[in-house]
A and B are shown apart, each in its own frame.
Chain A
């Protein structure tokens, strides 16, 4: 009797724990998706040049302008890939390369107006993908 009871409480504990993990994972999926959306809006404003950050060229502000635009796209990609990764984890499927490639394309095309931004974003995206790849390997 006692043995049965013990097993029951253990399974209950694991159920509660898995429930909590699921909730946490779901919250992470949702929050990172929202953050990704916020950076997408910021990227839309800056990278389409609806809002010009700095007008003066060939100064330090010119480079700051590029850095801001690149960072915004990279953060969109970073939060997007975290969100999709966790979503796939929750739905029990692995994150395939097709999705990573799609997100890569959706991120890089945001920098269509500036070659400098395009170049640095391309490099940044490769670094992020490599980072996630090696983390998975470990």
Chain B
């Protein structure tokens, strides 16, 4: 009887234990699925455009796309929209976005047509370590600001964002240019951003290679960036590591060849001389004997 009760007891314990286990595993599974769901939802709200960059020819940052020189031919080309509100994106402005990586630099071209361009139009590239849908959450801004679009006067500006306010960097890093084709009303903005550079210190975001980094493209028609950013969108760029491959010039090849010839000649003379010294020792020994 004892054996039976013991057996029953162990069965009861097993049942009880398995129920406990079921509850715990259910709780863990539901937590995991909940976090996954939250993650998916946040992903849905974040950058939908992911671009894996390729290396290509270096374009000239002058606001002109020179098609005769096949400029920007190696660029990754996308058509995206800039929206007023990224949480509820609708009625966006379609832009051509071209991006290419050359050595330690990232080149971005933004071009679009508008029926009427405002005199103080600007386009900017905002960067940060973490992604956000609010431009004021970003850390660094590279802006090409038109001062008078019809005269073609523009300025490249480097700003940092602190507590939702734009401040000019003490040192301007990167480059930017723009040009409006008056006949077609198409404007081109070009940017050059350094990769894996800490030159800007705390005022610039260091764009890391080997990971996806968020870039926000902003558009506005005034010089008040704190309040007047009209359109925006976020893209996620995978910047590649650049493996430095030094090109050996003909001059260097000549110098290397000369060095090997000269020093092998001297080395062979030196070796012969050392051999003679050793032989001399033997000669001296022989004479002594």
Contacts and interface: CB of A to CB of B under 8 A. Distances in A.
Given A33-B274, A40-B270, A90 B284 contact: yes
A48 B277 contact: no
A26 B269 CA distance: 19
Interface string B261-289: 01101110110011011001101100010
A26 B266 contact: no
A90 B255 CA distance: 39
Interface string B51-88: 00000000000000000000000000000000000000
A84 B280 CA distance: 12
Interface of A: 19, 22, 26, 29-30, 33, 36-37, 40, 44, 48-49, 83-84, 87, 90-91, 102, 106, 109-110, 112-113
Contact of A48 (B259, B273, B276): B259
A112 B258 contact: yes
A40 B266 contact: yes
Given A33-B273, A87-B277, 16 more contacts: A29-B280, A33-B274, A33-B277, A37-B274, A40-B263, A40-B267, A40-B270, A44-B263, A48-B255, A48-B259, A83-B277, A84-B273, A87-B280, A90-B284, A91-B280, A112-B262
Nearest to A113: B255
A106 B266 contact: yes
Q: Which 9 A-B pairs have the closest CB atoms?
A: A48-B259, A44-B263, A106-B266, A109-B262, A29-B277, A30-B277, A33-B277, A37-B270, A112-B258
B263 A48 contact: yes
A91 B283 CA distance: 9
A90 B278 CA distance: 13
A110 B262 CA distance: 7
Contacts of A44: 259, 263
8 contacts: A29-B280, A36-B270, A37-B274, A44-B259, A87-B280, A106-B269, A112-B258, A112-B262
Contacts of B288: 19
A95 to B, nearest CB: 13
B258 A22 contact: no
B284 A22 contact: yes
Contacts of A91: 280, 283
Contacts of A90: 280, 284
Contacts of B259: 44, 48, 112-113
Contacts of B256: 48
A25 to B, nearest CB: 10
A37 B267 CA distance: 9
A26 B262 contact: no
Pick the most buried of B256, B265, B266, B284: most chain A CB atoms within 10 A of its CB.
Answer: B266
Interface string B194-214: 000000000000000000000
A103 B264 CA distance: 15
B275 to A, nearest CB: 11
Contact of A87 (B255, B265, B266, B276): B276
B194 to A, nearest CB: 22
Contacts of B255: 48-49, 113
Contacts of B281: 26
A21 to B, nearest CB: 11
A95 B61 CA distance: 68
A110 B280 contact: no
Nearest to A49: B255
Contacts of B262: 109-110, 112
